[in-house]
Structure 1
Amino acid sequence: MTNLAAPYRRPVWRELARRHDITIALLESDKSLAGDAKSNRGQDWLHAGDEQLSFQELPTWKYSRGESRYYFLTNIRSAFLVRNHDVVLFGGWESPAYWLLLVACFISGTATVGFYESPQNTMTHKSGPISALRATFFRSMTRVIVPGAAAYDAMHAMGVPGSRILQGFNAVDVTAFHEAAFASTRTETESNEIQHRYLYVGQLIARKRVHDVIQAFAKVARFGDELTVVGTGELLEDLQNLAASHQARITFLGHVPNSELPKIMATHHTLILASAREVWGLVVNEALASGMHVVVAENCGVSRSVRRMSGVYTALENLQDLAEQMHRSRQEWSGRIRSPEILQYSPSQFAAVFEQAFVAARNAPTTVTRKAFARRNR
């Protein structure tokens, strides 16, 4: 169960679908997403035409607030589709639809697995009733999957025992990005190349702090250096005006399908992710797989998991040293990293963690799970 058919999630789903009968139940329909002008999602987020996976759209009503989307089931009976499955994986918790589906799982005795990837610093409600509801939801799960150490700590702080938390590593199709980066016949030693090409990929919204990225680039850029901005959002015009005021070489490409990103990363050197809040930041995985350097703010969820990898430069949360880290990346660039550590964290490796959770959930007595839920949440 998840909101959207995110293109970067599908490699993991496909790995699971090779060995299991997997249905991806979506709370957002293709029609609704296509009509959501503020979603900043391209055609690659639509599931129509994907013949490798089985999708099912649930009937929902959507309420939008800023970046967030909340879903309500318009047909309560649709929640009981869970009876047709051995295990239900919850890819979210905030929407009332997830709570109704959870109740249906308990009534039907269907095993439940949660997926949670937010570190504590990205939580908007650290105490109070919303925080308590979140903790209740995940304490009710038979198992919970987290993609990194930061999310593990957050889940443990909610009161979920370590024995029920399975930690993996958030994965993308690292092979596709790596192969694209080294498919060129050009030899990229580039240690003496005058030009350095920086890259930002993501939504153009306040939380991403793209203004700071542009200002830092203008500060450190040498003759011939470039910054490419990939993405769309409400701040596009403001950012274009800011770039023009600096008279720097900054190009805005708009939205680029996920399938085209490997080619773009193959021609750039340093990715920058400077978000004020970032649950993970899978674009960092993609850049590292491409042999690029990465400058990432320390408060991004991915930072803790990759900070010791080659080519990673961590900027302070307040971005005071963002320009400095970008300059360091440029100075220390000596060509693409041919064997980046990120390659070991593949969709297959991450899918194995999900399989482990599914097996554990199926083997856990349903009656025991229900009693534990009632006892923990009295």
Structure 2
Amino acid sequence: MTLLLHRTTRASWGLGIDINCLKKNVEPSAEFNVEAPSARITWIANFVAPYDASMYQNLGDRLQDFRLLLSTDMEKCRTWTPNLSLSNTRIQRTLSWTYQSRHPHGFTETLQSHFPYDTIPLLLKEKPKVVISGEFGARTLQALIYRFLRPGTRLIVRATVSEVSEQGRDRLRNWLRHVVLDHADAVLVNGRSGAQYIRRFGVPLEKLFVVPYTTDMTFFARVPLERPPQAGLRLLYVGQLIGRKGLIPFFDTLREWTLRHETRRVDLWIVGTGSLRDILRKYALPSNVTVRFLGAVPYDDLPNMYAECGLLVFPTLADEWGLVVNEAMAAGLPVLGSVYSQAVEELVRDGHNGWHFRPDSQAEMYSALDRALNTSEAKMLEMRRNARKTVEYLIPSYAADQILDAVRFVLSPRESNGRN
């Protein structure tokens, strides 16, 4: 994949072109240098999520000088095992705190924020040519200051956002984002909605690079597509048990559907933990619904969970992506998902590889659930094949390709950085 491909396809987003055109396999063009840049590159992030480890490893293998600065080995609200196996990784000196955030969709969640206060000294010591900084907080503001102190430096901002996830941001935060984006040399977004959000800040199209969430699909893709009858329509939810994930509205809809279909049995497996666990356990569902709470499951064991179920439920009220959609599709599970997940919006085609709905419309959710649970076995097998094929390109090396395109772009002479 070359920079030329991006600069011809990205310019058409405003016309509604399907962003999946970016995934086409294209031979490298002689017009651009496809070798990995030799400049020192430092990536600043919160922590290494299990699904990001392979992407960082891929970048480290392809770049001559790649460093990773982390605010923490793992956030306290996460159940993942810390991964510090990557070379040239350093934990920063960091102040961390939690706060409450209220979203216009009606949920409140507890978030953790970090201030890695030694960012500028470390950057001045390591002198990277390119800094990639995640999000718009303290680390990115410090990276911007470093860019001012060393004008030859290039700053790439990784903006994992969507139009839904960023609703309700206050004026100060939006002003700070304007400041950062005015001086960023490139921006990594995770989908079309993220790109449209960033465009509101006046960022030129040529500075936007799409880097969807990816993970190592090897073990998910080994899950057999065929399911035994008892598992064919078994519902699976994977994620935090918190208000943002829309589980209460989904339980309301599931209750209504099963009351109207007394002769049908529905199994729902729930993987994850969170503040709503006890509330969901006590929820009064009809006797023809069986809910199994499996708690936190190690990431490496997730393929086994997908293998035992027929379709994924993802009723989120706001998600800038939703990697469980990638995982489920790779494992052959059609997705019954909310369009307030950017992954659902990008990847799910109704009746082809899943069913989508707005979670704040019970009628839409009920209709989608009804269609899913009345899908024939033959049609479901076809949808499983379609689901797996949909995400076969979303692997860590693909994400690394897009990131390296952005790095080459910011290192290229300024006069060549215009649109084609």
Q: TM-score, normalised by structure 2?
A: 0.76
For residues 333 and 13 of structure 1, the distance between their equivalents in structure 2, rounded to whole angstroms, comes to 41
Residues 194 and 58 of structure 1, relative CA distance in 2, 3 Å threshold: closer
Q: Which runs of 5+ in 1 are unaligned?
A: 370-378
% identical aligned pairs: 22
1:332 lines up with 2:369 in the alignment: no
Q: Distance in 1 between matches of 2:356 and 2:115?
A: 39
Pair 1:71-2:114 in alignment: yes
Shift of 1:169: 3.2
Equivalent residue for 1:103, pick from 145, 162, 167? 145
Ranges in structure 2 where 5+ consecutive residues have no aligned partner? 1-43, 101-109
Higher RCO, 1 vs 2 (CA within 8 Å, ≥6 residues apart): 1
User: 328-337 or 354-363: which moved more?
Assistant: 328-337
Q: Following TM superposition, by how much is the alpha carbon of 1:220 offset from its aligned partner in structure 2, in angstroms?
A: 3.4
- Cα deviation for residue 333 of structure 1 reads 4.8
Structure 2 contact 328–334 (Cα < 8 Å) conserved: yes
2:96 counterpart SS class: strand
Residue in 2 that maps onto 1:216: 253
SS in structure 2 at match of 1:159: coil
Aligned partner of 2:396 among 325, 329, 347: 347
SS of the residue aligned with 2:226? coil
Please state if 1:27 is matched with 2:71: yes
Shift of 1:267: 1.3
| 1:287-346 per-position Cα deviation (integer Å, ceiling 9, x unaligned) | 111111101111221222113373221112414122321221222253442352111222
* Residue aligning to 1:376: none
Q: Is residue 2:89 matched to residue 1:55?
A: yes
Which residue in the other structure is 2:22 paired with?
none
Q: Which amino acid is the alignment partner of residue 311 of structure 2?
A: T
| Residue 188 of structure 1, aligned match among 213, 226, 240 | 226
CA distance in 2 between counterparts of 1:326 and 1:333 reads 14
What CA distance in whole angstroms lies between the structure 2 residues aligned with 1:82 and 1:360? 25
Partner Cα distance (1:301, 1:91) in 2: 18
2:357 to 298, 308, 315: 315
RMSD: 2.6
1:273 to 287, 291, 314: 314
1:119 pairs with 2:162: yes
Q: Secondary structure at the match of 1:62?
A: strand
How far off its partner does 1:60 sit? 0.8
Kindly provide the CA deviation profile for residues 44-86 of structure 1, in whole angstroms up to 9, marking residues without a partner as x.
2x124x2x44321110111211332222234465343574322
Q: For the residues of structure 1 that align with 2:254 and 2:191, how far apart are their CA atoms?
A: 30
SS at match of 2:131: strand
State the alpha-carbon separation in 1 of the partners of residues 66 and 256 from structure 2. 50
Q: 1:102 to 1:239 in 2, by over 3 A?
A: same
| 1:358 equivalent in alignment to 2:403 | no
Residues 1:361 and 1:303: Cα distance change in structure 2 (over 3 Å): same
- TM-score when normalising by structure 1: 0.84
Matching residue within 175, 190, 195 for 1:132: 175
1:227 aligned residue: 268
- For these two proteins, the number of residue pairs brought into alignment is 350
Among candidates 217, 231, 244, match of residue 207 of structure 1: 244
2:66 partner amino acid:
I
CA distance in 2, matches of 1:268, 1:299: 23
**Partner Cα separation in structure 2 for residue 98 and residue 344 of structure 1:** 30
Task: Please name the residue that 1:296 is paired with.
Answer: 337
- Pairing 1:198–2:235 present: yes
Deviation sequence 1:172-212 (CA, Å, 0-9, x none): 22333111x12xxxx8265x658621011111111112112
Match of 1:304, SS? Answer: helix
**Do 2:120 and 2:146's aligned partners in 1 also have CA atoms closer than 8 Å?**
no
Q: Which amino acid aligns with 1:18?
A: D
Give the AA of the match of 1:316: R
